Amino acid sequence: MNNFERNLRAIYARAYVRIAGTNRELSWIFFTVFLPLLGISAYIYVYKATADPEILNSLLTRVIIGGATLAFWMNVLWGMGNTFYWEKEQGNLDLFFMAPISRTSILLGMALGGMFSTTIRAIATIFLGAFIFKISFTLQSPLLLIVTFVLTMIALYGLGMLFASLFLMYGRGSWHVTNLLQEPIFLLSGFYFPIKFLGFHIAFIASIIPLSLGLDSMNQLIGGNFAQEWALMPLKIELLALGVLSVLFFYLAIKSLDYMENLAKKEGRLTLKYL
């Protein structure tokens, strides 16, 4: 069997664990689909309390799209980013790293497995949110929206793999640093407000986070005129940048995974628990 087939099997096997686990106890439907909607609703009510009615729909659209995308970001960060940490603590990391597969296939399997519940959460957020709060979407181009979403996800998952490499070397420290970065990334990604509000220069630097560009682009395609007024950059440029980020993060992730693995093996930290 060649390497490619073997890695495909590994992706499938690791995804299977996630999917089987998710489906063997369905409490997640309540806790991770419905309840997070409450948090998002809180942000909707912030705008309902204070925003100009003329721009309200656009702002609420932004919150709903942000909330849906948040599900994927949390999957990337906690479902994939810290995979190696939890696998190490559970005693599986040795076995994964001894097997003749690439590290990215373990991470991809984890990510794809998590996609199932994540996608349900995202769809529930959009439809329920739109239904409950009577939000209307001004969809310009469904195809372009799909392309934007896919590119954002690719770049995002690449970034997640980069985070994952840190966990090979730094256990709990990485966990805390990821926790620490979570809030600033929410801030700089424009989940609930346009990042252009931060000032062009800060927003431009923030656009290194795939979510910033992705959310900005998606809002341009679905949020109406107000969203377009507050767009950071023209859509085409943002899409191009997302394409570049996709490639860049995957490349960096592969390099970082190799580097961190070698470093961890050198320092004897690869299989050390409770770091």
Partner 1 sequence: MSIIKTFKSSAWLGWEMESNWANPFLFALYSIARPIAGIFLVVLMYWFIDAPEDLFALMFVGSVFYMYIFNVLFGVSWVIQEDREHYKVLKYIFMAPSNIYFYLLGRAFSKTIITTFAVLITLLFGALFLDVKIIFEKPLFFLLSFILGIIGIAAFGIIMAGISLLLVRHNFYIGESLAGVFYLFCGVIFPLSVLPSWGQSFSKLLPMTYWLEATRRSLLGFGDSSLNGITDLHIFRNLLMFGIGFLILSLISFKYCTDLAKKRGILDMTTWH
Partner 2 sequence: MCGVYYYFFKLLIEFNAMPSIAIEIKNLIRYFETGKETVKALDGINLQIKTGELFGLLGSNGSGKTTLIKILCTLLYPTSGEAFVSGINVVKEPEKIRGKINMVAGEETSGYGILTVRENIWLFSQLYGIESRLAKKRIDELLELLGLTKRAHTRIHKISTGERQKMNLCRGLVTDPDVLFLDEPTVGVDVNSGRTIRDYLLKWMKNNRKTILLTTHNMVEAEEICDRVAIIDEGKILALDTPSNLKQMLKNETILELETDIIKNLSFKYKFSKVDNHEKKISNLRFFLKDESTISDIISELSKKGVKIKSLHKSESKLEDIFIQLVGKNINE
In the chain, what is the straight-line distance between the N-terminal and C-terminal CA atoms, in Å?
37
For residues 266 and 221, give the distance between their C-alpha atoms in angstroms, rounded to a whole number: 49
Q: How many whole angstroms from its chain centre is CA 30?
A: 21
CA dist 2 to 7, 50, 59, Å? Answer: 9, 60, 50
48 interface partner picked from partner 1, partner 2, none, CB below 5 to 8 A per type: partner 1
DSSP letters of 10-53?
HHHHHHHHHHHHHHH-THHIIIIIIHHHHHHHHHHHHHHHHS-H
Interface with partner 2, residue 29, by CB under 8 A: no
Place of tokens 């931060």: 198
Among 99, 139, 142, 172, binds partner 1 (CB under 8 A): 172
Least CB distance to partner 2 at residue 9 (A): 4
Interface with partner 1, residue 88, by CB under 8 A: no
User: Of 151 and 211, which CB lies nearer to partner 1 in the complex structure?
Assistant: 211
Among 1, 25, 95, 143, binds partner 1 (CB under 8 A): 25
Positions that interact with partner 1 (CB under 8 A): 17-18, 20-22, 24-25, 27-28, 30-32, 35-39, 41-43, 45-52, 59, 74-75, 78-79, 86, 89-90, 114, 117, 172-173, 175-177, 179-180, 183-184, 186-187, 191-194, 197-198, 274
Positions that interact with partner 2 (CB under 8 A): 1, 5-6, 9-10, 12-14, 16-17, 20-21, 24-25, 90-92, 94-101, 262, 265-268, 270-271
